[in-house]
A and B are shown apart, each in its own frame.
Chain A
């Protein structure tokens, strides 16, 4: 199977390790992975902030780059949700008839990372080994927009050595919300504090998720508070094996 990686701009800049993990894991599972360097950003920040014409440029670019792709894999729940939920309206407003048809044909081939593993590859067991206590944060877009359901839990359940602990109030937002975190910084911080109380109550070593924007928010506060817990995208857990741990130790 061939798939094209849409990394998402903030992963590209801040979290390249997530992209490397996706590439490495998908290769291990026999996927031929491509990366088109002409990609930039899905336009989520612009669309959600009310800057539609600006978002439209990125949406059009995405369609142009991936209209021929067999599959597009995106290690970000919110960017996948942007493409799936908001592109149709953007193309309805600004696009041509042929672009609308191309988008409709492309969308079923666009998958969030855990969707791609479970739905397209049919593999919950990816041969991972990760001997740590882990809590999973179900990002809002993964939970309610993409309806990922138990896909991430299926994946985590098959990781050897991993102790999964339940995160209370997992349906509750961490308070990031893109520009909300800055424009409503105090309310955002109050929401984050409530979320941290739940996250820390798990006594996990690592809090994982399928969206690095939530993890940047949670992780930024955990770091500020010397909380002794780190954050890590699920791909970075799934890529680990007994061998990779041995390599790291030697």
Chain B
């Protein structure tokens, strides 16, 4: 079996990509165990906050305000950051962001970089571009090391190695770090990673990070993390490159009060994340002396232009939506064919990649609404999913199944526009159903697309009378009948 492909341009449609996962008992156990644990911790910590809903309202209002005034806040950030010695770059797309990063690293004569876990660098496929130029890339987040050494793909945006259990981690470390006697105790695994990483922190000339928040009023950048590896990357190397989506800006320092309360509780079920790093430009003699920040658009401004979809950009990447999603719970992240899986990935991926890619993702949901319920910035994900579905339909289906569905939708719509047609269709349906119904009154096998239903479920046969027939025969003829 070949590994998952996390590039929507080449990935299989969701339903097909999910198949190998659904048959992988170990992976499904790992995913369900991990998200059930995080969910339980989150629920406990949310319950202790009496003002949780008020915090969500505040966060939603701040993020909406930022998106409505984005150009102004970005320019404010640029001015402040530049005044403090930072160098601000603007990248229209992934390729431009990669080129800027490569140019900075070439100027710094860096042949290796340490990295803080960053979704934005994954989005622009930076690591592959660096390796192509013979720059050694060392991920420093524990989960990212596991993936890098084990040649695995991330399946979650906060806990990227969520699908790997500790016995599997032990195996990867023992093999790649040459530690045959390593135990699978969490402490031993963390210690092995610590020793492995320490040399990289001390010798790498450059670091690359993402950003959780950009503060407009001061030009500061904030990164939150759990392990301290980020703090090492952000302070030890001489050159630091931060790559951040343009939507990451907050107006004021004090806005962090709202987001830091929401983010850790939503993401990992902690009251506070262990490390929060904030820096502003360059401080002479302390920390990196060359600080570059690349502000990435990559279709974000086109998302911003659409009134319903715009809310997608409120996201603070906490992953609460995927932790609660009943679809993700079964499939894990790889089936989404993107570095952004789960409900947020289902709306973000097609928009970032262009709607011709990842067309199956807006349909990879039952619209159950669990994601909207937990989202700390109140993104109405089901609403955006439905909006994107309409866009996919408007663009036209390419597949045979899609053409069949379009025909079915148009025929049913024609039928529903007139009650006489509906009555005739019911009679026709009853005739067809009778041919398929067994003696027990149930349909056990349907033809064509219907077979997708009956592969695991029976269907009740049609009763001899529909409700409207019953009403017509029993009620409509006695209009005077009162209760």
B330 lies within 8 A of A49 (CB): no
> How many angstroms from the CA of A224 to the CA of B445 in the assembled complex?
11
Q: Does A31 contact B (CB under 8 A)?
A: yes
Q: Can you identify 16 A-B contacts, CB atoms within 8 angstroms?
A: A38-B419, A48-B389, A54-B410, A140-B366, A144-B373, A171-B370, A178-B367, A182-B450, A182-B453, A183-B363, A184-B14, A184-B363, A190-B22, A190-B331, A221-B458, A224-B458
Q: Does A122 contact B (CB under 8 A)?
A: no
A223 lies within 8 A of B442 (CB): yes
B18 lies within 8 A of A184 (CB): yes
The one of A40, A41, A58, A175 in contact with B366, judged by C-beta atoms closer than 8 angstroms, is A175
Nearest 4 CB-CB pairings of A with B: A177-B366, A50-B389, A220-B457, A54-B413
- B463: nearest chain-A partner, CB-CB: A16
B18 lies within 8 A of A13 (CB): no
> A residues 169-193 with Cβ under 8 Å of B?
171-173, 175-192
**A36-47 vs B: 1/0 string, CB under 8 Å?**
011111010111
B483 lies within 8 A of A30 (CB): yes
In the complex, which range does the number of interface residues on chain B fall in?
35 or more
Shortest distance in angstroms between A241's beta carbon and chain B's nearest beta carbon? Answer: 15
A residues within 8 A CB of B22?
186-187, 190
B residues within 8 A CB of A41?
412, 416, 422
> How many angstroms from the CA of A98 to the CA of B407 in the assembled complex?
33
**B439-483 vs A: 1/0 string, CB under 8 Å?**
000101000011011011111101101111111100110000011
> How many angstroms from the CA of A23 to the CA of B365 in the assembled complex?
34
Q: Does A35 contact B (CB under 8 A)?
A: yes
The one of B410, B418, B456, B462 in contact with A185, judged by C-beta atoms closer than 8 angstroms, is B456
A residues within 8 A CB of B367?
48, 140, 177-178
> B residues 375-417 with Cβ under 8 Å of A?
386, 389-394, 401, 405, 409-410, 412-413, 415-417
**A45-79 vs B: 1/0 string, CB under 8 Å?**
11111111010011001000000000000000000
Taking A35-B476, A54-B413 as given, write out 12 further A-B residue pairs in contact, using a Cβ cutoff of 8 Å, ordered by the A residue number.
A13-B429, A40-B422, A49-B393, A51-B410, A177-B366, A181-B453, A182-B450, A182-B453, A183-B15, A187-B22, A220-B459, A224-B458
> A residues 150-173 with Cβ under 8 Å of B?
171-173
Shortest distance in angstroms between B354's beta carbon and chain A's nearest beta carbon? Answer: 17
The one of A9, A17, A40, A223 in contact with B458, judged by C-beta atoms closer than 8 angstroms, is A223
Known A30-B483, A172-B326; contact A14-B417, beta-carbon cutoff 8 A: no
A residues within 8 A CB of B389?
48-50
In the complex, which range does the number of interface residues on chain A fall in?
35 or more
Q: Does B364 contact A (CB under 8 A)?
A: yes
Chain A contact surface mostly = helix
- B456: nearest chain-A partner, CB-CB: A189
> How many angstroms from the CA of A51 to the CA of B418 in the assembled complex?
18
B460 lies within 8 A of A46 (CB): no
B390 lies within 8 A of A187 (CB): no
The one of A11, A39, A176, A224 in contact with B456, judged by C-beta atoms closer than 8 angstroms, is A224
B326 lies within 8 A of A57 (CB): no
- A184: nearest chain-B partner, CB-CB: B15
Q: Does A145 contact B (CB under 8 A)?
A: yes
Known A140-B366, A171-B370, A191-B326; contact A12-B18, beta-carbon cutoff 8 A: no
B330 lies within 8 A of A187 (CB): yes
B residues within 8 A CB of A52?
390
**A207-243 vs B: 1/0 string, CB under 8 Å?**
0000000001101110110000000000000000000
Q: Does A28 contact B (CB under 8 A)?
A: yes
> How many angstroms from the CA of A43 to the CA of B415 in the assembled complex?
12
- A193: nearest chain-B partner, CB-CB: B456
> How many angstroms from the CA of A6 to the CA of B409 in the assembled complex?
21
> How many angstroms from the CA of A173 to the CA of B410 in the assembled complex?
28
B457 lies within 8 A of A192 (CB): yes
A residues within 8 A CB of B213?
none
B residues within 8 A CB of A61?
416-417
Shortest distance in angstroms between A178's beta carbon and chain B's nearest beta carbon? Answer: 8
Chain B residues close to A by CB (< 8 Å): 14-15, 18-19, 22, 326-327, 329-331, 335, 362-370, 372-373, 386, 389-394, 401, 405, 409-410, 412-413, 415-419, 422, 426, 429, 442, 444, 449-450, 452-453, 455-460, 462-463, 465-472, 475-476, 482-483
> How many angstroms from the CA of A220 to the CA of B329 in the assembled complex?
22
**A6-25 vs B: 1/0 string, CB under 8 Å?**
01010111111101100100
Known A19-B467, A223-B442; contact A186-B19, beta-carbon cutoff 8 A: yes
Shortest distance in angstroms between B75's beta carbon and chain A's nearest beta carbon? Answer: 33
Known A12-B468, A40-B419, A57-B413; contact A50-B393, beta-carbon cutoff 8 A: yes
Q: Does A119 contact B (CB under 8 A)?
A: no
A residues within 8 A CB of B19?
186
Q: Which of B362, B457, B469 has the most chain A CB within a 10 Å cutoff?
A: B457
A220 lies within 8 A of B18 (CB): no
A144 lies within 8 A of B409 (CB): no
Known A177-B368, A186-B15, A186-B18; contact A54-B409, beta-carbon cutoff 8 A: yes
A residues within 8 A CB of B475?
23, 35
Q: Does A121 contact B (CB under 8 A)?
A: no
> How many angstroms from the CA of A122 to the CA of B190 in the assembled complex?
60
- B422: nearest chain-A partner, CB-CB: A40
B residues within 8 A CB of A182?
449-450, 452-453
B462 lies within 8 A of A13 (CB): yes
Q: Does A104 contact B (CB under 8 A)?
A: no
B residues within 8 A CB of A16?
463, 465-467, 469-470
B residues within 8 A CB of A20?
467, 470
B residues within 8 A CB of A51?
390, 393, 409-410, 413
Known A13-B429, A194-B330; contact A50-B386, beta-carbon cutoff 8 A: yes
A residues within 8 A CB of B417?
40, 57-58, 61
Q: Which of A175, A182, A221 has the most chain B CB within a 10 Å cutoff?
A: A182
Known A191-B326, A223-B458; contact A184-B364, beta-carbon cutoff 8 A: yes
B residues within 8 A CB of A202?
none
B455 lies within 8 A of A47 (CB): no
